[in-house]
Amino acid sequence: MAPDWSMRSLSFLNGSPQHPDLTLWTADSGGWEHTADLSNAMHLQGYRDYDTKSMLRILERLQKLGQDLTFDGVLSDSQPLHLHFEHELNTLNHTPEHIILHTDSNMATLTHPEFDSATEAITVAQAFAPSIKGRTILITGVNRLGIGYTTAEAFASESPRLLILAGRSPAKVQECIDALSQKYPDVEYRLLQVDLSSQESVRNAASTVLSREDVPTIDLVINNAGVMCLPERTLSPDGIEMHLATNHIGHFLLTNLIMPKLIAAAKDKAPGTVRIINVSSVGTCTSPFRASDPNFTKSNAELPDNEKGALAMLKAAGLPAEEDKTYLPMIAYGHSKTCNILHAVGLDKRLYEKYGIVSVALYPGDMRSELIRHTDQEWLAKAMAAREAQGHRIKTLEEGSSTTLVAALDPKLDKPGNGYFVTNCQVGTQPPAPKYAVDEAEADKLWETSEELVGEKFAW
């Protein structure tokens, strides 16, 4: 007889050298109940979205290892389960301490609960067409091989007033503008050259934006550009670790410098209409904000416990995870992606009450884009194959950009905190961001560090 698999919540206490048993707990309306000890059973690592069949295989393994392991309710194909790492750091071995399996039953839904990992950006644009028409939108990291382009394409399909498309390579941005102009000739496009790793370039780009009197307002800023897994520690022209410089500091500086145009746009609009969208990543789970060492001059072993990277997670994924190394590519990338989320927290704190401007962070999903060009290709091929074998969808670029549009347009994300980590076009169908990535005190630390690194304080 098939087991009854559904549950409200299922939490595992991960084993440590001091506590090697993997202990299973279940939770229902009556509270937590110790169910079974699964000694040496499974070491679950990662941050995954599984389809129902893949999750059933995992749960079947768990039942075989457990004693009288049962769950409440009924699981159907229309109610997929998701593996959720709450990612609280264990002070003994610095690995994720809790793992939660949960259904969608109690999750908050957005305007279109039918949107999911297979939804394309143009479908989202059609659904929120009135929120695009006539608006001015700035998007960074626009090239034909990434989600910057498909994000711009979706917006262009619903007649915005102006799309400002930013990128390091003018030729690549112009290629996008030429393609979009052929498809949507009635939309105005402007090229903005900016190298986000260079503060001089960012300041020049911001000056260009502010000088355009025919563009008095900007309604949406999509901080999309990024670099990932540079194999060697590299410093920006300003002496900042390159992931942090490009993925966070450049966006921090650009957004703050052009803020007057967002504030002007917000004056006659409902709160939450003008937004700043930060494209983050599930990589946030690999590292908190390293306030004591943002430039990666110390090894993981030398960091305070609350700043250590999740080396066990890297090891489980087959990635370099040496405790004594000062630089690990995935940790550096994840660090910058945590900063993207904390940046959204900091922006909300400073902008929402006064101006009604909201910032939302998101995880677009896994896809084959130009972002992965620096990642070890042999490891990447194995990782992608493993993800697909587990039932995890590798998205197209059109699917990958859909969550960006939901974050930018869904009216149910009009207040701070509602969408710090939108995934698969929803809030709650994937794990929330780690607690350290939405902590206001950490966001304040990051804000102060960012101001120090750019040599300027911002207040409005």
Top pLDDT among 459 and 315 is at 459
CA 140 remoteness from chain centre: 15
Q: Which residues are identified as catalytic?
A: 280
| pLDDT the model gives residue 71 | 35
Q: CB of 241 within 8 A of CB of 235?
A: yes
Top pLDDT among 432 and 236 is at 236
CA-to-CA distance for 388 and 454, rounded, in angstroms?
41
| pLDDT the model gives residue 111 | 95
**154-163, 203-212, 255-264, 412-421: the lowest-pLDDT one:** 412-421
| pLDDT the model gives residue 407 | 97
The string of DSSP letters for 184-239 reads -TTSEEEEEE--TT-HHHHHHHHHHHHH-TT-----EEEE-------SS--B-TTS
- Is the pLDDT reported for residue 350 higher than 90? yes
CA 395 remoteness from chain centre: 15
Q: Note the pLDDT tens digit of each residue in 101-154.
A: 333 333 457 999 999 999 999 999 999 999 999 999 999 999 999 999 999 999
Identify the three-state secondary structure at position 240: coil
Confidence of residue 80 (pLDDT cuts 50, 70, 90): very low
Mean pLDDT, the chain, as a whole number? 78
* 283-289 mean pLDDT: 92
Q: Note the pLDDT tens digit of each residue in 426-445.
A: 986 565 788 899 999 999 99
Confidence of residue 235 (pLDDT cuts 50, 70, 90): very high
| pLDDT the model gives residue 228 | 87
Q: CB of 154 within 8 A of CB of 121?
A: yes
* Inter-helix orientation angle 259-266/329-355, to 10°: 40
Q: Which domains, from first to last, does the chain contain?
A: 9-102 (no CATH), 121-454 (3.40.50.720)
As a 3-state breakdown, the chain gives helix, strand, coil percent values, each rounded to 5, of 40, 15, 45
* 244-270 mean pLDDT: 97
Greatest mean pLDDT range, 82-86, 217-221, 428-432: 217-221
| pLDDT the model gives residue 296 | 97
| pLDDT the model gives residue 391 | 56
| pLDDT the model gives residue 368 | 66
